[in-house]
């Protein structure tokens, strides 16, 4: 298992290299540069800036220079957030995004699998219809509607929770962002679990378990849910990577200092180093969580353990 | 063979006026129409009937295992106690301890995610009140009881590491774990090879004698009934049409349907082709091997499916190829038609097929056709029967007008005794037997010389099998066809083939005329196969 994991991590290096290369040249293809502001700078200033940041060098030199710095763990300075390096921006924002996204995912998995299982057990009855309705709403209503609504109801009208802001990470400030992030995931996980459970409950192994008079928990959880959870696990990997690398909508509306805003802002501002930093971080998360998913999958299903 | 009848006649399990109705979008469908069955201690009751007769649904209903859209009425009693409609909690006190069940599908009935030992322990812990550790000890004993080698290792194995026969033994061991009174076996050997089937049946009989079990044995195979059952109930369209002692029912069937089932045993023999018949196909040292992926780090290995097979097919001959699953018989059939790559030399009418160019091979394809086992999977669901039958003509006789093609389709359908008026329907509107007729028509429309029949009757009920066999024999006589008939069913091979080749592990272990192979098998493996099939007469 360990050998397998190490092999997979080694195999990720060429993948990362391709992603970095593609992203590096793609962002350079976009017109303009980090110092093209609404009011143009004086040519002399511009020239100086370009020289300081080596933007006047040939592109291939910049590319090799960036790769070299990356190998030393240096993501470079941010062009737009002056006085901050990309590494500093991530070291302050990433833990916040990971915490919010991770909590949202755990919440979504708990609620989603429970709801999905209940719906499957009460197939085509009111509980099932209710769960399906909730799931459909969760997917169709976008977070930029849900977030202000939650803020309005719980923050302004009821006054139970802060309507926005971060409050230095106090628990009350995290609840609404986490819920907003979790809702669409609850919907997806519910639907995946429900579909897989309906199939699992009528499968032959579960029929055997029922024919042998095993108790409800053994039939439903030990036998049916363990196989029905597999599609949820497959989904949870990419979902974890997406959630933990921040959400611009949630961070903007609730004023959370995560890393989700950086990608959009950096791309708009041609903040080359920050774009590259975000790409590397997201790629690493995706690769890591896909590996985690495969390991969990192997734990659950012995048939893929030795393949 | 008559099973010993124990002295007691105490009824332990009884169904009375049991009805099962399924609510479907097209309205209610009655699957079981008020049947009465009972079985006494130490007795074996066989329930026979063709697919769709409701025999499985009846016992599923009795065990409370039907889906939510089923409505069940009547009465099911265990030792006089009504169990139909019991709350699940109370029913669970009986299921898996007093009443147990073995299912038809050994490959899927066990949970693939748990070890054998863990699954077998569950009912012991649940009903027997054993600790997991004590249950494990008992599991090892049970595995030994059902004849599984190295029980410690097997208990730690997952189902996918066991063969179908081993899995069915595990299911039987699980069924016996809590010393039940009633064992319901729903076609427990249908998915297994004949030799495995035979040992499982012996095992059941042996265990019954030792434990005084009452067995309800559901099957469509009359040979098994004759070997195993004290009494037999014949079901048709949800009703029991005849019930009685096995000897009496077999000797003097009272109901017309029972007589039909008994007559459905394939009969008749194929006359050998004349000795001077011209040679059609010759194969020398044909071998087929596949690359087996050894996993991420191991180098791939080669699996030899067919190993140096020689054969000669004369015009008008039927060569039967028999063997158990995995013996390489289907692969051989495909290799002869150049559908899988093989080494060795294959000639068809003197032309060497080994190095032949695809274009020339295509011309020969018309002469060599294939009929598959699965009449459900081998017909495209999106084409009409007429289109399916004439598809080959588009390739091989492109000059035909659509009117001519249509005429050929009608002719081919008539030949297989299907109404040509049905040619605009889709395959799903036909029964399994009718679909196999369509598949045969598709092969016949090209007027081939050689037809490879790969288990063409295995998915069909006996009465339908007999019709298909007669159809195939008739077509052969009318057109002078040559057949390569692949089957694991020796009764069918006996009725179809004039020469027989027995395969095991990719090699031919014995060959000879059908007469020799069946009456006087020389190799132990052949003898085992023939004995296991308990051929009548």
> Would an 8 Å CB–CB cutoff place A125 in contact with chain B?
no
**Do B471 and B503 fall into the same domain?**
yes
Asked if B347 and B367 sit in the same domain, the reply is yes
- The pLDDT-based confidence of B534 (bands split at 50, 70, 90) is low
Mark out chain B residues that contact chain A at CB-CB < 8 A: 63-65, 67-68, 88, 91-97, 100-101, 103, 105, 108-113, 122-123, 126-127, 158, 160, 171, 174, 295-296
SS3 B454: strand
Q: Which residues of A264-286 are buried (b: 16+ CB within 10 A; e: fewer)?
A: ebbeebbbbbbbbbbbbbbbebb
What number of C-beta contacts closer than 8 Å exist between A and B?
81
CA–CA–CA angle B34, B39, B42 (5° rounding): 170
> Who among A123, A205, A300 is closest to B109 (CB)?
A205
Collect the ranges in chain A with pLDDT lower than 50.
Answer: 307
Residue B197, domain extent: 9-98+180-263
Asked whether residue B253 falls in the same domain as residue B389, the answer is no
Residues B422 and B479 in one domain: yes
- Same domain for B156 and B289, yes or no, is no
* pLDDT value, residue A19: 92
pLDDT score, position B300: 66
Q: How far apart are CA B10 and CA B187, in angstroms?
A: 25
Alpha-carbon distance A14 to A6, whole Å? Answer: 14
Q: B271 lies in a domain?
A: no
Kindly tell me if the per-residue pLDDT of B171 is higher than 80. yes
Cβ proximity of B409 and B389 under 8 Å: yes
CA–CA gap between residue B330 and residue B337 (Å, rounded): 11
**B36 shares a domain with B116:** no
CATH topology of domain A95-304: MetI-like fold (1.10.3720)
Question: How far is C-alpha B102 from the chain's CA centre?
Answer: 17
Q: Is residue B294 pLDDT above 70, yes or no?
A: no
Q: What is the b/e burial string over A75-105, where b = at least 16 CB atoms within 10 angstroms of the residue's CB?
A: bbbbbbbeeebbbebbeebbebbbebbebbb
Q: Do B129 and B65 share a structural domain?
A: no
Residue B427 DSSP label: G
- Do B187 and B171 sit in the same domain of this protein? no
Per-residue pLDDT, A169: 78
Q: What is the pLDDT of residue B304?
A: 85
Grade residue B264 by pLDDT with cuts at 50, 70 and 90.
confident
Q: Which of A212, A217, A222, A297 to substitute to test the interface with B, most B CBs within 10 Å?
A: A212
Q: Which residues of A touch B295 (CB under 8 A)?
A: 306-307
Please name the residues between 95 and 124 in chain A that touch chain B, using a CB distance below 8 Å: 123
Residue B274 falls inside a structural domain: no
User: CB B160 to CB A205 under 8 A?
Assistant: no
- Residue finishing a domain among B147, B179, B211: B179
Listed residues B120, B155, B179: the one ending a domain: B179
pLDDT-derived band at B182 (thresholds 50, 70, 90) equals very high
Q: What is the pLDDT of residues B13-68, one digit of tens each?
A: 999 999 999 988 888 888 999 999 999 999 999 999 887 788 889 999 999 998 88
For chain B, percent helix, then strand, then coil, each to nearest 5?
40, 25, 35
pLDDT class for B5, splitting at 50, 70, 90? very low
Based on the fold, state whether residues B356 and B424 are members of the same structural domain. yes
Chain B touched by A4 (CB under 8 Å): yes
State the average pLDDT for chain B.
87
Q: Does residue B435 share a domain with residue B354?
A: yes
| Rounded Cα gap, residues B98 and A209, in angstroms | 15
Same domain as B441, residue B341: yes
Token couple for B365: 């394809």
Per-residue pLDDT tens for B414-452? 988 888 888 888 888 888 888 888 999 999 999 999 999
Domain end call among B179, B206, B239: B179
Q: How many domains does chain B have?
A: 3
DSSP A144-183: HHHHHHHIIIIIIIS-SS-SS--GGG-HHHHHHHHHHHHH
Q: Under an 8 A CB cutoff, do A303 and B110 touch?
A: no
Partners of residue A208 in chain B, C-beta under 8 Å: 103, 109-111, 171
Which of A124, A208, A294 is best to mutate for the B interface (most B CBs within 10 A)?
Answer: A208
> pLDDT tens, B360-409?
888 888 889 999 877 777 888 889 999 999 998 988 888 889 899 999 99
Contact assessment for residue B330 and residue B336, using Cβ atoms and an 8 Å cutoff: no
Closest Cβ–Cβ partner in B93, B95, B112 for A211: B95
CA distance A51 to chain B (A): 49
pTM given for the model: 0.77
Q: Is residue B4 part of a domain?
A: no
- Residue pair B80/A267 in contact by the 8 Å Cβ criterion: no
Domain boundaries of chain A, sorted by first residue: 95-304
Q: Residues B69, B120: one domain?
A: no
**What's residue B53's pLDDT?**
87
Note the pLDDT of residue A106: 96
**What is the C-alpha separation between B242 and B324, in angstroms, rounded?**
34
Closest residue on chain B to A299 (Cα)? B113
| Domain presence at residue B2 | no
Identify all chain B residues contacting A223, using CB atoms and an 8 Å cutoff: 111, 113
Residue of B93, B105, B295 with shortest CB distance to A213: B93
A166 interfaces chain B, CB cutoff of 8 Å:
no
- Give B74's pLDDT tier (boundaries 50, 70, 90): very high
- What's the pLDDT at B299? 64
Residue B3 lies in a domain: no
> What pLDDT is attached to residue B1?
40
Q: Mark yes or no for CB contact B96/A213 under 8 Å.
A: yes
For A140, the 3-state DSSP assignment is helix
Q: Which A residues, 187 through 206, put their C-beta within 8 Å of a C-beta on chain B?
A: 202-206
- Residue B336 sits in a domain of what CATH number? 3.40.50.300
* pLDDT tens sequence across B210-253: 888 999 999 888 888 888 899 999 999 899 999 999 999 999 99
């Amino acid at each position: 298992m360990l050998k397998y994991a190490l092999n997979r991590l080694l195999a990720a290096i060429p993948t990362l290299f391709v992603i970095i290369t593609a992203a590096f040249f793609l962002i350079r293809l976009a017109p303009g540069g980090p110092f093209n502001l609404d009011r143009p700078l004086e040519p002399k200033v511009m020239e100086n800036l370009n020289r300081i940041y080596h933007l006047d060098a040939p592109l291939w030199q910049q590319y090799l220079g960036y790769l070299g710095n990356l190998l030393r763990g240096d993501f470079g300075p941010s062009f737009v957030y002056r006085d901050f390096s990309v590494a500093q921006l991530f070291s302050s924002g990433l833990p916040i995004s990971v915490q919010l996204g991770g909590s949202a995912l755990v919440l979504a998995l708990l609620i989603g699998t429970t709801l999905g299982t209940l719906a499957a057990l009460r197939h085509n009855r009111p509980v099932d219809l209710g769960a399906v309705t909730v799931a459909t709403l969760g997917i169709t209503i976008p977070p930029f509607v849900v977030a202000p609504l939650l803020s309005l109801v719980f923050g302004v009208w009821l006054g139970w929770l802060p309507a926005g802001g971060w409050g230095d990470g106090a628990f009350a400030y995290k609840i609404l962002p986490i819920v907003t992030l979790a809702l669409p995931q609850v919907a997806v996980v519910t639907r995946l679990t429900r579909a897989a459970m309906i199939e699992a409950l009528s499968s032959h192994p579960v029929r055997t378990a029922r024919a042998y008079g095993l108790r409800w928990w053994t039939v439903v959880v030990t036998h049916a849910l363990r196989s029905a959870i597999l599609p949820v696990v497959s989904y949870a990997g990419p979902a974890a990577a997406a959630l933990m690398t921040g959400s611009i909508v949630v961070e903007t509306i609730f004023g959370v200092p995560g890393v989700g805003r950086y990608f959009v802002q950096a791309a708009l501002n041609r903040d080359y180093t920050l774009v590259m930093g975000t790409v590397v971080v997201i790629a690493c998360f995706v690769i890591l969580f896909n590996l985690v998913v495969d390991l969990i999958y192997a734990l659950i299903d012995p048939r893929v353990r030795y393949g | 063979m008559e099973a010993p009848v124990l002295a007691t006649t105490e009824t332990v399990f009884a169904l009375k006026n049991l009805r099962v109705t399924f609510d479907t979008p097209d309205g209610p469908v009655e699957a079981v129409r008020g049947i009465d069955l009972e079985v006494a201690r130490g007795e074996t009751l066989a329930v026979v009937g063709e697919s769709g007769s409701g025999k499985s649904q009846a016992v599923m209903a009795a065990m409370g295992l039907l889906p939510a859209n089923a409505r069940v009425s009547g009465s099911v009693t265990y030792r006089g106690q009504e169990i139909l409609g019991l709350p699940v909690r109370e029913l669970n006190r009986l299921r898996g301890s007093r009443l147990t069940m073995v299912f038809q599908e050994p490959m899927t009935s066990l949970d693939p995610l748990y070890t054998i030992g863990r699954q077998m322990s569950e009912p012991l812990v649940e009903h027997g009140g054993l600790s997991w550790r004590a249950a494990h000890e008992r599991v090892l004993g049970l595995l030994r009881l059902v004849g599984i080698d190295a029980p410690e290792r097997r208990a730690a194995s997952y189902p996918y590491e066991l063969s179908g026969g081993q899995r069915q033994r595990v299911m039987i061991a699980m069924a016996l774990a809590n010393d039940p009174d009633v064992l319901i076996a729903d076609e427990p050997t249908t998915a297994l090879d004949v030799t495995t089937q035979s040992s499982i049946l012996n095992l059941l009989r042996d265990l019954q004698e030792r434990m005084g079990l009452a067995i309800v044995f559901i099957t469509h195979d009359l040979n098994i009934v004759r070997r195993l059952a004290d009494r037999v109930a014949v079901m048709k369209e949800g009703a029991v049409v005849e019930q009685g002692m096995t000897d009496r029912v077999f000797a003097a069937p009272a109901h017309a349907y029972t007589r039909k089932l008994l007559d459905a045993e394939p009969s008749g023999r194929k006359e050998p082709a004349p000795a001077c018949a011209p040679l059609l196909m010759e194969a020398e040292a044909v071998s087929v091997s596949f690359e087996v992926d050894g996993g991420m780090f191991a180098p791939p290995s080669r699996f030899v499916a067919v190993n140096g097979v020689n054969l000669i097919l004369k015009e008008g001959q039927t060569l039967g190829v028999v063997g158990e699953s995995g013996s390489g018989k289907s692969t051989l059939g495909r290799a002869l038609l150049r559908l899988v790559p093989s080494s060795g030399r294959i000639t068809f009418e003197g032309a060497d097929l080994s190095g032949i160019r695809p274009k020339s091979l295509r011309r020969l394809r018309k002469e060599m056709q294939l009929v598959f086992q699965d009449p459900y999977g081998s017909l495209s669901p999106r084409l009409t029967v007429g289109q399916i039958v004439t598809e080959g003509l588009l390739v091989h006789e492109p000059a035909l007008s659509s009117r001519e093609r249509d005429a050929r389709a009608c002719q081919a359908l008539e030949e297989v005794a299907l109404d040509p008026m049905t040619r605009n329907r889709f395959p799903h509107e036909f029964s399994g037997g009718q679909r196999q007729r369509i598949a045969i028509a598709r092969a016949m429309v090209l007027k081939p010389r050689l037809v490879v029949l790969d288990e063409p009757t295995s998915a069909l009920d006996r009465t339908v099998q007999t019709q298909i066999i007669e159809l195939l024999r008739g077509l052969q006589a009318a057109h002078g066809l040559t057949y390569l008939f692949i089957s694991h069913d020796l009764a069918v091979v006996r009725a179809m083939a004039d020469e027989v080749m027995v395969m095991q592990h990719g090699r031919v272990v014995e060959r000879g005329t059908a007469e020799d192979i069946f009456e006087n098998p020389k190799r132990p493996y052949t003898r085992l196969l023939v004995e296991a099939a308990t051929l009548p007469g």
